[in-house]
Amino acid sequence: MKNYSPQSLSFTAGGLVATLCFGAMIVVKSIAGSTIVWWMIVLMPAIVFIASYLITQYLVRMFIHDRINLIYRTISEFRSAKASNEIEIDVEQDVISSVENEVYRWTQNKRREIKEQKKQEDYRREFVNNVSHELKTPIFTIEGYIETLLDGGLEDPEINVKYLERALKNTERLGEILKDLDMISSLQSDALELDFESINLETLINEVVESLQFLSESYKVKVSIKSGFSKPVLVEGDRHRVKQVLTNLISNSIKYGNQGGTTDIECFDLDENVLVEVRDNGIGIEKEHLPHLFERFYRVDKNRSREMGGTGLGLSIVKHIVEAHQQTINVRSTLGVGSTFGFTMKKS
């Protein structure tokens, strides 16, 4: 009965009623005898069949038009604000199954939407808490320094300049957090336009390493560049953004590796893509932290990260930039051995 059309349903109903009528006529014939002739026994069920068929089909059609059309219209209005008020339904087909499938799909979509909304709500709540926590520390620190200066510290030559410098450092940290937040917002909303061009990857890596020479010397980290290519590697991307990715990964490798250790940058040929890996021989990262490294404000060692001046948004920005190039980024790490961050770029 599930896949019956209105015609087949009406035919079945008419057949059942006609069969009952025929049985009843046989019983009456056996009781009344010759008063009922055989042509009446055949004609009456035929008339009953036709009448039942027509009445059933009419009622089914009316039910489909009035009820099913209402369901279709309701679902369509939810799915699209531009849905028309009247929806044509082919009652000759298996309408009930079509409606069941439509309702099932609509229900599944709604469940997914509700689940996604709850997920986004949890994410927004967590994000607001993280932002509040990250902004609170420098703001309260600045407030403390200014209060001390206003309470007489401004006249003390031993602390006035020192406290003003510390306040300035915290205001710079606030600016970095806001700048990174604005960057992530732009990347997520697709408001940030990427200027694609052909990039000499090796030249760009050398440029980033040179810009970080003071940092590497401060931490006594030896930075080396390796390439498995016999000729210049050209990739497609936004040069400024790719440079931002490299700067973040290499500087993190230097700052969070071992002092006196090494940072290796190596490129690998992956057919249509190039894999860039930044590898250090630091203390490594525990496995439980690896899935969360690219989340906003996530830090493995919060105190050390703040001492280094990080906003906790760098890796999240890196991930967004790489994905905006339709590429992937990953991390692998072993405690006591080191960490490796790798991302792909499409060849030019």
Question: pLDDT for 241-260, tens place per residue?
Answer: 999 999 999 998 998 888 88
CATH 3.30.565.10 fits domain 196-346: yes
The 3-state secondary structure of the chain reads CCCCCHHHHHHHHHHHHHHHHHHHHHHHHHHHHHHCCHHHHHHHHHHHHHHHHHHHHHHHHHHHHHHHHHHHHHHHHHHCCCCCCCCCCCCCCCHHHHHHHHHHHHHHHHHHHHHHHHHHHHHHHHHHHHHHHHHHHHHHHHHHHHHHHHCCHHHCCCCHHHHHHHHHHHHHHHHHHHHHHHHHHHHHCCCCCCCEEEEEHHHHHHHHHHHCHHHHHHCCCEEEEEECCCCCCEEEEEHHHHHHHHHHHHHHHHHHCCCCCEEEEEEEEECCEEEEEEEECCCCCCHHHHHHCCCCCCCCCHHHHHHHCCCCCHHHHHHHHHHHCCCCEEEEEECCCEEEEEEEEEEC
- What is residue 87's predicted lDDT score, i.e. its pLDDT? 46
Report pLDDT for 81.
47
Q: What is the pLDDT of residues 297-340, one digit of tens each?
A: 777 765 555 555 556 788 888 998 999 899 999 999 988 889 99
Question: Is-same-fold flag (121-188; 196-346)?
Answer: no
Banded pLDDT at 210 (limits 50, 70, 90) = very high
Has this prediction a pTM greater than 0.75? Answer: no
- Regarding the domain delimited by 121-188, which CATH topology (the fold level of the hierarchy) does it fall under? Helix Hairpins (1.10.287)
Q: Where are the domains of the chain?
A: 6-93, 121-188, 196-346
pLDDT at res. 82: 45
Share of the chain above pLDDT 70, in %: 74
Residue 278 has pLDDT above 90, yes or no: yes
